[in-house]
């Protein structure tokens, strides 16, 4: 960028801040509903929607409740959702075998939704934590999450999700080599247009707690998820992992959590030409919402939290505020 020798008073920065119309005209970033993705939780047990105590304003939906919610989201202009299942304990085991059942709850739910709303874009999570009795994203063998055995499950799971109608698969497991393995199987099975949204920069974070409650995946064994999720102290590793995933066939990269890692979002967007998404995770949402409920913040903090992610370089954002923002800007 060219360096200028602009000086006061010939240059007055406040000229471009004088009212909201001028500020909007010159702003770098604005919020567009088409760039917001609503995460949704659905239960195979509930006959009615249940409020999530740790995420005020969010719900664990029944299948019928989920369909009604999606109908409302589409009417508001939210065209993309990420769906996460909460399964009954009887469907969970050490290997997460229900994940590879082609007729499992989430596959049948996706088929139902796609039949009713063919225009909706569905993002499906690819990880074993909703299905394992351990709460881990992979198969635990000898007190260790086994990378290569987990890959085999993720590959089968991905084919089932693609066949059910998922537009975008989002491997969030953080196993090494999973993008290449999944991409190869998708191509072989004829799902060549299925998009892979790789959680390449999923940090081992303290902000995931409310999500794990929502999907019923609280860890039950002593193994730390730090053994496979990325260390939040490392930034160069995020660039390395991103490059690996791009080379293996990722179409989009994800950074999670979002706000604590805006530097990573910026670095990835500056270094790579593929789109970068950000996930404003459950803990970020709850922190903001509880602050609003306690009148520590006003609602404008929601806009600010999202705009800073777009400013950092995110093309789209998964946020539990997508519906709220759509209503505000409708």
In whole angstroms, give the CA distance from residue 24 to residue 15.
13
In whole angstroms, give the CA distance from residue 192 to residue 185.
9
In whole angstroms, give the CA distance from residue 235 to residue 232.
8
Terminal-residue alpha carbon distance, the chain: 37
Catalytic residue annotation: 202, 256
Beta carbons within 10 angstroms of residue 199's beta carbon: 27
Name the 3-class secondary structure at 96: coil
Name the 3-class secondary structure at 138: coil
Residue 90 phi/psi, 5-degree rounding, is -65, -15
Which residues, at least 6 apart from 190, have a Cβ–Cβ distance to it below 8 Å?
none
Name the 3-class secondary structure at 170: strand
Residue 266 phi/psi, 5-degree rounding, is -65, -45
H, E, C per residue of 195-230: EEEEEEEEECCHHHHHHHHHHCCCCCCCCCHHHCCE
In whole angstroms, give the CA distance from residue 11 to residue 122.
48
**Do residues 158 and 178 lie in contact, with contact meaning Cβ atoms separated by under 8 Å?**
no
Beta carbons within 10 angstroms of residue 265's beta carbon: 28
In whole angstroms, give the CA distance from residue 22 to residue 14.
11
């Amino acid at each position: 960028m060219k360096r200028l020798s602009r000086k006061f008073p010939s240059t007055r920065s406040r000229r471009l801040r004088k009212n909201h119309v001028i500020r909007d005209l010159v702003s770098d970033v604005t919020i567009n509903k088409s760039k917001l993705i609503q995460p949704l939780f659905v239960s195979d047990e509930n006959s009615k929607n249940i409020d999530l105590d740790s995420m005020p304003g969010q719900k664990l939906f029944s299948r019928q409740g989920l369909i009604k919610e999606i109908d409302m989201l589409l009417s508001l202009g939210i065209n993309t959702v990420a769906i996460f299942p909460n399964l009954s304990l009887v469907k969970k085991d050490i290997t997460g075998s229900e994940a590879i059942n082609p007729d499992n709850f989430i596959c049948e739910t996706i088929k139902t939704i796609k039949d009713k709303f063919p225009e909706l874009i569905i993002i499906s999570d690819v990880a074993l934590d909703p299905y394992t009795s351990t709460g881990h994203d992979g198969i635990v063998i000898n007190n260790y999450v086994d990378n290569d055995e987990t890959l085999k499950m993720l590959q089968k799971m991905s084919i089932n999700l693609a066949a059910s109608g998922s537009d975008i698969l989002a491997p969030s497991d953080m196993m090494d080599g999973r993008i290449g393995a999944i991409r190869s199987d998708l191509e072989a099975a004829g799902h060549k247009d299925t998009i892979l949204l790789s959680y390449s920069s999923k940090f081992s974070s303290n902000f995931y707690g409310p999500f794990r409650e929502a999907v019923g995946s609280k860890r039950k064994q002593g193994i730390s998820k730090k053994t496979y999720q990325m260390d939040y102290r490392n930034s160069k590793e995020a660039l390395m992992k991103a490059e690996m995933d791009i080379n293996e066939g990722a179409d989009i990269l994800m950074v999670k959590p979002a706000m604590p890692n805006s530097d990573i979002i910026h670095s990835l967007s500056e270094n790579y030409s593929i789109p970068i998404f950000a996930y404003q995770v459950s803990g970020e949402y709850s922190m903001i919402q509880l602050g609003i409920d306690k009148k520590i913040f006003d609602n404008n903090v929601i806009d600010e939290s999202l705009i800073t992610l777009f400013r950092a370089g995110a093309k789209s954002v998964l946020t539990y505020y997508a519906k709220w923002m759509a209503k505000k800007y409708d």
